[in-house]
């Protein structure tokens, strides 16, 4: 599903964020990405949805070869890769309903499908009763649920979550975790960068521990290490 071979990423300022990476992630896996700040986690994640391109090496996501993906083809890739951020990134002037529907409008789905799917995903995340509210009327956990609903609206094969629980209290974080588990159980690959040792140690999944732009540890059902 996702394959990186001999990947390097050097930013224009000279910093090498990814320094020789080989990894393969299969469809349906749930993978944690951990490591100290600056280890390259975000850069790794950004290369999966082609926010950043590698300086060297190959990145494949499904049938997409990201190194030579034409810019006009990026929207096609993004239908297969949903992304959720620590700070939610909802559109403040749109309602909950509109935030989710918008993700489908931009890829040209028909209005009937959009309506059906919007209500379906908002039901899945437990927010069908708040469709008319605006992001600033919601709690952090609810905003993250809307962001997740939006990210899965187009039924992506991969859902990337960059510190999705980073701004949430522990109880709310567990709720978000349950939701991600449920989405994973439906077959979506999940890649989640996190600093939350409690979650990583309690809900065991494959773990990629980054250090200095490399994967220092790749474990099935891995544990959060002290070094992370
Ligand atoms: P992490 O997510 O593990 O904190 P990052 O991938 O954000 O790591 O960063 C890895 C290294 O690359 C850091 O030294 C960071 O300062 C640098 N870096 C990240 N993004 C950029 C950028 N857009 N331009 C220049 N340097 C960057």
Residue to mutate (ligand 1; options 7, 15, 21, 191; most atoms within 8 A of CB): 15
Ligand 1 centroid – CA 43 distance (Å): 6
Checking if the pLDDT of 71 tops 70, the result is yes
Residue 58 and residue 183: Cα distance in Å, rounded? Answer: 28
Average pLDDT rounded to a whole number, residues 144-171: 94
Residue 99 and residue 102: Cα distance in Å, rounded? Answer: 5
pLDDT recorded at residue 94: 98
E strand or H helix that includes residue 2: strand 2-10
The number of the ligand 1 atom at minimal distance from the alpha carbon of 13 is 25
Protein residues with CB under 6 Å of any ligand 1 atom: 11, 13, 15, 17, 35, 37-43, 210
pLDDT recorded at residue 223: 86
pLDDT tens-digit map of 128-155: 999 999 999 999 999 999 999 999 999 9
Q: Strand 30-34 to strand 206-211: parallel, antiparallel, or no bridges (unpaired)?
A: parallel
Query: What strand order describes the sheet that includes 158-162?
Result: 81-85, 158-162, 189-193, 30-34, 206-211, 214-219
Q: Whose CA is nearest to atom 24 of ligand 1?
A: 11
Q: Strand 158-162 to strand 81-85: parallel, antiparallel, or no bridges (unpaired)?
A: parallel
Checking if the pLDDT of 29 tops 70, the result is yes
Taken in order of first residue, the domains within the chain and their CATH numbers are 2-219 (3.40.50.300)
pLDDT averaged over every residue in the chain: 94
pLDDT recorded at residue 226: 56
Residue to mutate (ligand 1; options 9, 12, 16, 42; most atoms within 8 A of CB): 42
Beta strands in 47-157 (DSSP E): 56-61, 64-65, 81-85
Distances (CA, A) of 128 to 89, 121, 185: 20, 8, 21
Residue 108 and residue 114: Cα distance in Å, rounded? Answer: 9
Ligand 1 centroid – CA 40 distance (Å): 6
Quickly state the pLDDT bin for 225 (edges 50, 70, 90): confident
**Whether this model's pTM surpasses 0.85:** yes
The number of the ligand 1 atom at minimal distance from the alpha carbon of 43 is 6
pLDDT recorded at residue 75: 87
pLDDT tens-digit map of 9-25: 999 999 999 999 999 99
Place of tokens 């200095």: 212
Ligand 1 centroid – CA 208 distance (Å): 17
Q: Whose CA is nearest to atom 7 of ligand 1?
A: 42
The number of the ligand 1 atom at minimal distance from the alpha carbon of 210 is 3
């Amino acid at each position: 599903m996702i394959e990186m071979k001999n990947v390097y990423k050097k930013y224009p300022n000279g910093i090498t964020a990814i320094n020789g990476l080989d990894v393969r992630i299969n469809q349906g896996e749930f993978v944690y990405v951990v490591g100290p700040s600056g280890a390259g986690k975000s850069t790794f994640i950004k290369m999966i949805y082609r926010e950043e391109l590698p300086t060297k090496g190959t990145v494949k996501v499904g049938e997409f070869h990201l190194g030579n993906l034409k810019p006009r083809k990026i929207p096609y890739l993004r239908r297969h890769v949903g992304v959720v951020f620590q700070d939610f990134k909802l559109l403040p002037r749109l309602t909950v309903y509109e935030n989710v529907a918008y993700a489908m409008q931009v890829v040209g789905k028909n209005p009937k499908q959009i309506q059906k799917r919007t209500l379906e995903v908002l039901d899945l995340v437990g927010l069908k009763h708040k469709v008319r509210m605006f992001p600033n009327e919601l709690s952090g956990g609810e905003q993250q649920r809307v962001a997740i609903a939006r990210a899965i609206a187009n039924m992506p094969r991969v859902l990337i979550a960059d510190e999705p629980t980073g701004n949430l209290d522990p109880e709310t974080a567990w709720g978000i975790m349950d939701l991600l588990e449920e989405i994973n159980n439906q077959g979506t690959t999940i890649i989640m960068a996190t600093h939350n040792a409690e979650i990583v140690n309690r809900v065991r999944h494959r773990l990629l521990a980054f250090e200095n732009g490399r994967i220092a540890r790749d474990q099935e059902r891995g544990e959060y290490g002290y070094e992370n």
